[in-house]
Amino acid sequence: MKLFVARNILIGIAVKPSYKDYWSSTFELRDAFTSTLMSRGRFSWLLGNIHIHNNVLQPTREKPEFNKLYKIHPLLNALGRSFIECCNPAEYQSLDESWLKFKCRLMLLQYMPLNPIKRAYKIWMHVDKYGYVCQFQICTGKVSNATENNLGPRVIKDLTKGIGN
């Protein structure tokens, strides 16, 4: 499992058009170091079959406890806890939205026809002046057809919990 995670980190550092290119027979695309760590078949199988959360326990869309991020919720919680534990925020801090560009059509993507980035994940972030992410919250869109009032103040309250005066 550690090797799979390490492999994904290495893929993020040396980006190629497709993850299969790391095992390519073409010299220009092949990554000799990372391709020796794990076979392409094993990596593909792990990529398709690893689950962070039990899908059987996932609430249906009709239930109020339904969460669009259910499958990765434990990972997000662990990341959030580790960010807070390692955080020693500077005097100046910022709360703002960040956009993570993505080309696929998923229900979490925000569509903004007038922006240069048309489709992206919206992530609210609490960062210090050095850019360290102290806390984050992924925007999942509307919960119901009703408009959420006071979205800004709610996000600010959520992201500043545990900060002293």
* Inter-residue contact 20 to 7 (CB < 8 Å): no
Instruction: Output the pLDDT for position 125.
Output: 93
Instruction: Output the pLDDT for position 45.
Output: 93
Instruction: Output the pLDDT for position 144.
Output: 60
Q: pTM for the whole thing?
A: 0.70
Q: What is the 3-state secondary structure (H, E, C) of the chain?
A: CHHHHHHHHHHHHCCCCCHHHHHCCCCCCCCHHHHHHCCHHHHHHHHHHCCCCCHHHCCCCCCCCCCCCHHHHHHHHHHHHHHHHHCCCCCCEEEEEEEEECCCCCCCCEECCCCCCCEEEEEEEEEECCCCEEEEEECCCCCCCCCCCCHHHHHHHHHCCCCCC
* Inter-residue contact 125 to 87 (CB < 8 Å): no
Instruction: Output the pLDDT for position 111.
Output: 78
Instruction: Output the pLDDT for position 41.
Output: 92
Mean pLDDT by 10 residues, the chain (165 residues): 84 85 88 84 89 85 83 88 83 87 74 83 89 88 67 84 66
Rg (the chain; Cα; Å): 19
